[in-house]
Structures are given as C-alpha cells and as structure tokens.
Chains A and B, each alone.
Chain A
Amino acid sequence: NAGVTQTPKFQVLKTGQSMTLQCAQDMNHEYMSWYRQDPGMGLRLIHYSVGAGITDQGEVPNGYNVSRSTTEDFPLRLLSAAPSQTSVYFCASSRLGTSEVAEAFFGQGTRLTVV
C-alpha cells in the first residue's frame, strides 16, 4: 500500500516553461487536493476534487490547472511558470467525511524552483 505518491521530488524550471506535477493514490479516496507550502505561510489550498470529473478552486488557484479523470490520479499543471510559483507542493487525499474521521494523507512533496 503506497499511499499518496508524488513525482518528481525536485524540479527546476525556467520562467515561462510548463510542466505537470503528478499525484496518485491507491486508497480509493474520493477527495484529492493540492497545497503549496511557503516559509512562514503554512499550507495553502490550490485546487481540490471530490471525485472523478469534479474539481474546484482553493485559496490560491491562479496559474494552475487540474483535472481528475480517474479516482487515483490528480495532476497539477503549471502552464507558464513564474518565479512566484517557487514552492513546495503537496498532494493529499482523504475519504469524503461522514461519520468517519476525514484525515488527510499527504505525499512526500515536490520542491519546485522557477528561475
């Protein structure tokens, strides 16, 4: 049981380049999310999804696109990277909470530098 897997672990991009951060989970969770973590600011929600075909914006969505074609995968796309997108990105998954605890399971993170 791998949990939440993110690739790559590290990436350097030039301003204006595009790339996709990959995220996969094997726990059959309905909910998947992308956060970015910057020094002194905690984790901020970028986009989230409650199931295949359904996505919505979080607190800081500008410059990022997502899609959810399967339950397992939730890629994050940067269409034109900017230095302000230099950050550590975390993908998370969780059950859609009802009577159970909806704890989030996080991947190991992708450290992205845009030069």
Chain B
Amino acid sequence: SQKIEQNSEALNIQEGKTATLTCNYTNYSPAYLQWYRQDPGRGPVFLLLIRENEKEKRKERLKVTFDTTLKQSLFHITASQPADSATYLCALDLYNQGGKLIFGQGTELSVKP
C-alpha cells in the first residue's frame, strides 16, 4: 500500500543544535517533495520544495535532501532557535500540482533555550 511517514515521536532539542526530521514514503514516485511548517491553530506555511532530480536544497538555515532510491527526505534546521518550535509536515507532490498533496502526519519540534 502507499504510505508516507514522518518521525513518529516529537523531537526535543537544545537551542543552537541541528534538528533533523525524516520523511519516508513507499509505493509513490513523486516528482516533487514539499516541506511545510504549521503552528498551533494556524494553517500550514510552505518552506521548501525539492525536485526528484535534486539531491539537496538550501534556504537560510534550512536544508532538505531527497533520496529517491531510499525513498526518503531529510529536513535539517541548523542553529535552531526556540522560534523554530512547530510541527513540520512533508508532502508528496506527484505532478507539480500544489493543490493535490499527500501529507505525512507531521513531526512536532520543540527547541529548548
């Protein structure tokens, strides 16, 4: 069956450390993979997109990798800050159609000062 899974446990890290979140999928062949941030009571907000032919993408303190052989994406936040505390969602975009995304269940990140 088709499945997309993120870190099942909440992630707690110390300020200044690097947070690494995992997104694994099975039986999909996505053309794109997107990462979103969601704060409590708010809608998801787009962070980064990576294409199937890209190994790595960076934006400020964020880095995303995409391994289509392993069927896995890693999302890194370097020099983490308490303001980075939120739930992070990965989403498969099979056809570069942002309106038809397949989401993981999310990983709650807590950064302690």
Interface set of A (CB-CB < 8 Å, partner B): 4, 31-33, 35, 40-45, 48-50, 58, 90, 92-98, 101-109
The docked-state distance in angstroms from the alpha carbon of A103 to that of B103 is 13
With A33-B99, A97-B98 already in contact, 5 other A-B pairs whose C-beta atoms are closer than 8 Å: A33-B101, A90-B43, A104-B36, A104-B99, A106-B44
Nearest-neighbour CB distance to chain A for B43, whole angstroms, equals 3
| Main DSSP-derived SS at the A contact region | strand
Nearest-neighbour CB distance to chain B for A43, whole angstroms, equals 4
Interface set of B (CB-CB < 8 Å, partner A): 4, 32, 34, 36, 41-46, 49, 89, 91, 93, 95-106
Nearest-neighbour CB distance to chain A for B10, whole angstroms, equals 12
Q: Which A residues touch B91, using CB under 8 A? A: 43
Our pick among A40, A49, A106 for the contact of B45 (Cβ within 8 Å) is A106
Most buried by B among A44, A49, A95, A104: A104
